[in-house]
Amino acid sequence: MKSHILTITLNPTVDYCTTSDRIEPNVKLRCTEPQIDPGGGGINVARAVRLLGGQATALVAIGAGTGAHLLQLLALEGVPTVAFQGPGETRQSMSVIDSSTGQQYRFVMPGPVWEEHDVPRALNSVDQATTGDTLVVLSGSQPPGVAKDFPSIMADHVAGRGSRLIVDTSGPALFHLAEQRRDSLYVLRMNDEEGEELAGRPLPTRADTAGFARSLIDKGVARIVIVARGADGSVMATGDGAWHAVCPPAPIVSKVGAGDSFVGAFTLGLSREDPVEECLRSGVAAASAATMTEATRLCDPDLTAKARRDCVVTQL
């Protein structure tokens, strides 16, 4: 691996996943022993990188007792972690599968509210953990209280240290990033819904998605723009061209973690200096593999390798 990978998680969670016979109101719902996992965008990207044979350091904001629990879970998973003090107490999330229907109910807490003075601490921790050509990944929802320009500020910080930033975000932060020319952002990735919201129009065909991704490249928003197309894979545009990659359709078990698996595999490819269209192939294969396993599992390495062999990459 030529470049080191650092993932950032401002709003991590301790995820509890359990099953109940039937979900109904006003009664005690007896649940099975939960599976407990560390979660949050950046943490999942680091776990995906590790599953695929690479190594990434997770930089995580933690708070109070649940923060300590999170660190323990990360240590058990073998994910190298750098922690810094975030506000309040690290959040918990809960998903419950109703075994009579197979439906999954996901309860997601907002996480502690950030104050203005928490942001410089995060930037400082990133500065300290970034050396030379580090690939820094900012993925997952912004905590409440963090301003929409945070990813833009982060891009300037990271580029100022000679490193590269990969951002997967949504909502106001995504809109803010897409508003202006920004030589400091290396990769901007979004899913199909986020792309259509940002474009302000539906993107039904690959050509539509590619046209939109190219328009962001032409505006100078990032060096590489990736827009997912659900089961139809992903489109990538750079200054040199545009590509589409897709894997053959497979039955969906759970889409949870597919986006983070994409980002993990794509970034691992970048760190190995693979050609960028091969990084796209790896990302699409890992996302596809993640949809084939249950919610708590990310990209299984064998399924990813098979999906990669079957993945079709086309220059547009």
| Residue 259 touches ligand ADP, criterion: CB under 6 A | yes
Q: Candidates 111, 112, 151, 259: give the one binding Mg ion (CB under 5 A).
A: 259
Min dist. Cβ of residue 138 to Mg ion (A)? 12
| Residue 39 touches Mg ion, criterion: CB under 5 A | no
Q: Candidates 7, 93, 191, 271: give the one binding ligand ADP (CB under 6 A).
A: 191
Min dist. Cβ of residue 231 to ligand ADP (A)? 3
Distance CA 102, CA 294 (A): 11
- Does the active-site annotation cover 260? yes
* Closer residue to Mg ion in complex, CB, 233/259: 259
| Residue 298 touches ligand ADP, criterion: CB under 6 A | no
| Residue 38 touches Mg ion, criterion: CB under 5 A | no
Min dist. Cβ of residue 221 to ligand ADP (A)? 18
| Residue 233 touches ligand ADP, criterion: CB under 6 A | yes
| Residue 51 touches ligand ADP, criterion: CB under 6 A | no
Distance CA 242, CA 251 (A): 28
The mark string for 1-40 relative to ligand ADP (x by CB under 6 A, - otherwise) is ----------------------------------------
| Residue 151 touches Mg ion, criterion: CB under 5 A | no
Angle at 72 between CA 138 and CA 65, to 5 degrees: 90
Q: Which stretch binds ligand ADP (CB under 6 A): 91-99, 213-221, 249-257, 308-316?
A: 249-257
Name residue 211's amino acid: G
Min dist. Cβ of residue 69 to Mg ion (A)? 25
Long-range CB contacts (within 8 A, 24+) of 19-26: 19/96, 19/97, 19/98, 19/99, 20/96, 20/97, 20/98, 20/99, 21/98, 21/99, 21/100, 22/98, 22/99, 22/100, 23/96, 23/98, 23/103, 23/105
Q: Are strands 35-39 and 13-20 parallel, antiparallel or unpaired?
A: antiparallel
Residue with tokens 């490249």: 217
Distance CA 224, CA 214 (A): 9
Quick check: helix, strand or coil at residue 49? helix
b/e code 97-129 from CB counts within 10 Å (16+ = b):
bbeeeeeeeeeeeebbebeeebbeebeebbeeb
Select from Mg ion, ligand ADP, none the partner in contact with residue 22, using the beta carbon and a kind-dependent cut-off of 5 to 8 Å: none
* Closer residue to Mg ion in complex, CB, 83/190: 190
| Residue 257 touches ligand ADP, criterion: CB under 6 A | yes
| Residue 309 touches ligand ADP, criterion: CB under 6 A | no
* Closer residue to ligand ADP in complex, CB, 186/262: 262
Enumerate the β-bridge partners of residue 84: 61
Contacts with ligand ADP in 72-131 (CB under 6 A)? none
Catalytic residue among 168, 192, 208, 260: 260
Distance CA 281, CA 265 (A): 9
Structure tokens at 22: 């039937």
| Residue 195 touches ligand ADP, criterion: CB under 6 A | no
As annotated, the active-site residues are: 260
Question: Using CB under 6 A as the criterion, which residues of the chain lie in contact with ligand ADP when the complex forms?
Answer: 191, 228-231, 233-234, 252, 255, 257-260, 262, 287-288, 291
